[in-house]
Amino acid sequence: MKFHAQSGPLGRRTPLLATLLASAASLALLAPQAAFAAPDHAVPLADTDAAAAGASPTQTPPKDGELTDIVVTATRSGAESLQKVPIAVSVVNVDQVTKSGQGNLSDLAKFTPSLVITEGAPGFNKFNLRGLATGGYVTSDTSDRPLVAVYLDDTPISVQGQTPDLKVYDLDRVEVLRGPQGTLFGAGSMAGTVRFVTAKPDARSFFGTAEASGSTTEHGAGSYNVRGMVNIPLIKDQLAVRGNIFVGNDGGFIDNIGQHKVDNANSNRSTQGRVAVRWTPTDKLVVDGSFTYEDSRAKGLNTGLNGLAPYTYESNGAEGTRDLFKLYTGGFDYDAGFANLIVTGAYTDRKIGFNASPDPQIGYYFASYYAPYTGAGKYPLYNPPASYNHAVTSLIPAENYTINQKLNDFMAEARLVSKNDGPIKWTVGAYYEKQNRHLVQDIPVAGFDTLSYQNAAFGPFATPSGLYDSKTVDGAFNSNDIFSGLQDVHEHQFAAYADGTWHVTDRLDLTAGLRYFNFKENYYLYEGGAFGVLLGKDAQGRTTGITQSITSTLKSNGVNPRANISYKLDDNVLIYAEAAKGFRYGGANQPVPLGTAGLAGRCTTQLNAYGYTAAPGTFGPDKLWNYTIGEKAKLAGGRVTLNASAYYIDWSDVQTRLRLNCSYFFTDNKGKIASKGVELEAAVKATRNITLNGSFSFNDSNARGDIPTVGAFDGDRTPYSPQVTASAGAFYDTDLGSGSLHLQATYKYISSQQTTFNNFSTTLDPKTKQLIVDKTSNGGASQTFAVIPESHNASASITYDVGQFEFGVFGNNLFDGVKVIDIQRATYYAIYQAGSRVTYARPRTIGVRAKVKF
């Protein structure tokens, strides 16, 4: 199974505008810090997006000069003050995000410590928290499970590497829980959980908003979006509907110079909407229903080649992504007196498409290894170049790498949540989920059957003509298919959980929780085509392909506990300690071809070098224990908050992927990883006009002992895990004329990351069975190791509010301090590719926005 990682210039006025924005940011940061009285319109840290009719119900209005007290539902046991929840949780300021002209899923990482999101294309992303990672994601691996769970309200929507890119709009808040949340949020939350909490319909009044923005991106095309929200009471104080819509186009900034030549190739158009209904027939019953829709289509990927000019790529075929996401939810909250009964259900219908054209990976098929060069139109198409040559690469037929997935998911959950009016507060619940996933992978290559070396190297074949045919000989879906694959996954899971807190005294709380899970998966796979078959002989001794198919069944069950102790030193200072177990389900492996020649021969040789006679058919769950101590403090009369946590994670039976140099891979439970670090968050109401905030995290995540499958030696740092992340923000509010002026400036730093554990090519010593540097391969240097450079992301915005109107100017990545966010080096096909494949962040973007509230 093949794996893949993942424009016009600015006008003359753009540098001036960027300078003005940067100057505004400097003024906000350097403003004098004198009095501590705040005006009513100030926007403090983590203020949630208030509806036009009034403040969000999840905020407690601050006293004069204090920071706003944010209320969260992170523990799923009712609303609580963020400063009184004894876990490491952050709240993303939605108003801050929208004012800065941002709102993509990846933008969340700019406002949260420890969280890193790598986005290769819209909807193709990977979440990392607290250094828990072993490598990048693979688009064709249905068994790769997320370590960070993403929820829309009470519905899980995360898929490893492909979480839908729902725009951060019309939300009450975004909660980011750091550390395992297995008791309440289940599998997939080993590293943490991200919750999008939507704004709910309000039956008290009619209100709405409409907004439009436009921007220009350096090296790229212009972007625009329009969005609107309306809240309509249908029955006063009982029934209301709330709807919102988003239509936007993100201009591309990658130029393709291959046969598929196009400027600004990676543009993306997204249409999204949501309709929610809330019915409150009595003061004891609340009934909710919603429908969420997303249709996102990108015409290219955010990738370039570092051997070409920046933001330039070369492919001979079309690329892009498509995500059609539909989510239906319903549920109710009933006050039964002694407890609240909360029931939710959801159905997800999703179609995901991915197209790439990594033509260099098949370049060797068409070079003159078995016959003299004869010119275009016949095999071979060219002589092998000594190094990269654009003219030769342009002759490779387009490798139309295509993955189409259908995902249907049904989940139901019921829980009882006690009232917080006694010595013990408890939550008990049950969860059920059924998911069907159907993935079709196909790589049609025009002319492959006649233009590749198949006939010269392996013919004659068992066909009427004796010539190679992908469909007839190798079981591909069609002729001229280099690979065809099918995966069907059917999963069922049931869980029961309980979580309780004993208020031992007014200051001391003890919490314990358990989750029992029972999981079953049925897996079917089929592979055909030259990349998917084993070479064999028919009855007449002629070469033929043997297709591969497997059927697997996996079962697992167990119990995951957590324990927490918290103590209030006084009404404003809380300290806590927690131990929690996290888990992730196992899965089935795709087969790796075995043989003595060609692709299968390369696979077999490397498997043997790592001590395998064949790839394992399945792999089991992995698990971890997370130990955290922390504090939350509100100081200086509510004008300062300081939250800190320190953690140690022991991750065992790690699901690690062995990538073979024959382009296949498999997963096995190998090795241990230890991760430790600290996280800090602070906010200061510096003056009546100025609010400052900041965050810092340090992580040290390393292999504990050698891990041969990923070439890790004892002590090697985990990939895609920056040691340091830090952010700072400044917000300035003042009256100006008949309106109010808001300035904000934010900065996020992420230290360098590496794509693998080390820069060595490794293997097992055949005698000692110990991991060693393989100096016979490239002199011991790794062909896949790369360092992703540190990033400095500076953004700023100016907003003027006058009556019902709001006007703003914003700039993101102002100094192009974020450029390369991922790197995939070329291996066996390096002579056909212009350097490494790099994933680019959007360059400096300057825009304007206007909003009306009614």
**765 or 5: which carries more pLDDT confidence?**
765
Mean pLDDT on 119-147 = 85
pTM for this one? 0.89
Residue 149 has pLDDT above 80, yes or no: yes
Check whether 659 has a pLDDT greater than 60: yes
Token digits of residue 300: 């290219």
Taking the C-alpha atoms of residue 121 and residue 266, their distance in angstroms, rounded to an integer, is 8
Write down the number of H helices and E strands in the chain. 8, 47
Domain 44-213+228-312+323-853, CATH class in plain words: mainly beta
The arithmetic mean of pLDDT across residues 49-67, rounded, is 50
Closest CA relative to residue 93, chosen from 129, 43, 127: 43
The per-residue pLDDT for 398 is 97
More confident residue, 841 or 664: 841
39 band by pLDDT with thresholds 50, 70 and 90: very low
Q: Both tokens of residue 817?
A: 């301090």
Measured distance CA(279)–CA(288) in Å, rounded: 7
Q: Are 194 and 178 a contacting pair, CB within 8 Å?
A: no
Burial of 454 by CB count in 10 Å (0-12 exposed, 13-18 middle, 19+ buried)?
Answer: buried
CB atoms within 10 A of CB 222: 16
Region 481-485: mean pLDDT is 95
For the record, the structure tokens of 651 come out as 């991750």
**Residue 686 CB-half CA count within 13 A:** 19
The model's pLDDT over 821-830, given as tens digits with 9 standing for 90+, comes to: 999 999 889 9
Across 427-431, average pLDDT: 96
Count the alpha carbons within 13 Å of 69 in the hemisphere toward its beta carbon: 18
**Predicted local distance difference test score (pLDDT) of residue 664:** 84
Condensed to tens digits (0 to 9), the pLDDT of residues 612-632 reads 988 998 999 999 999 999 999
Give the residue from 835, 838, 827, 833 showing the smallest Cα distance to 393: 833
Tokens for 738, please give them: 């008949």
Do 614 and 660 form a contact (C-beta atoms < 8 A)?
A: no
Give the Cα separation of 574 and 631 in Å (integer). 5
Of 598, 619, 720, nearest in space to 663 by CA? 598
Both structure tokens of 645: 């946590």
Average pLDDT of span 267-296: 96
Look at residue 800 in the predicted model and tell me its pLDDT: 96
**Angle (CA) 757 158 94, round 5°:** 100
Residue 545: pLDDT band (50, 70, 90) is: confident
Report the alpha-carbon distance of residue 323 to residue 349 in Å, rounded. Answer: 11
pLDDT beyond 90 at 646:
yes
CA 237 to chain centre: 39
pLDDT at 111: 75
216 close to 273: Cβ distance less than 8 angstroms: no
Stretch 832-836: mean pLDDT:
96
- State residue 609 phi and psi, 5-degree precision: -65, -25
Cα separation of 593 and 615, whole Å? 9
Does pLDDT of 45 surpass 60?
A: no
Distance of CA 267 to the CA centre of its chain: 19
Residue 134: Cβ within 10 Å count: 26
What percent of the chain clears pLDDT 70, i.e. is strictly above it?
Answer: 92
Model confidence at 454: pLDDT above 60: yes
Going by DSSP bridges, is the β-strand pair 481-503/690-703 parallel, antiparallel, or unpaired?
unpaired
Residue 60 confidence (pLDDT): 55
d(CA 377, CA 364): 16
Cα 179 to Cα 194, 578, 584, 698: the distances in Å are 11, 10, 14, 14
Length of the chain as a residue count: 854
In degrees and rounded to multiples of 5, residue 296 shows phi and psi of -115, 130
3-class SS of residue 541: coil
22: three-class secondary structure by DSSP:
helix
pLDDT digits (tens, 9 = 90+) for 365-410: 999 988 888 887 889 999 999 999 999 999 999 999 999 999 999 9
Separation CA 622–CA 707 (nearest Å): 14
Give the residue-averaged pLDDT of 769-776. Answer: 90
CA 18 to chain centre: 29
pLDDT digits (tens, 9 = 90+) for 558-587: 999 999 999 999 999 999 999 999 989 999
Q: Is the dihedral of CA 442, 443, 449, 453 positive or negative?
A: negative
- Average per-residue pLDDT in the chain? 88
Asked if pLDDT for residue 92 goes beyond 90, the answer is no
Q: For residue 707, is it left (φ>0), alpha (ψ between -120 and 50) or beta? A: beta
Q: Which tokens sit at 497?
A: 């959980």
- Cα 314 to Cα 139, 260, 840, distances in angstroms: 20, 8, 15
pLDDT digits (tens, 9 = 90+) for 629-642: 999 999 999 999 99
Distance separating alpha carbons of residues 229 and 724, to the nearest angstrom:
38
Give per-residue pLDDT as tens, 213-260: 999 999 999 999 999 999 999 999 999 999 999 999 999 999 999 999
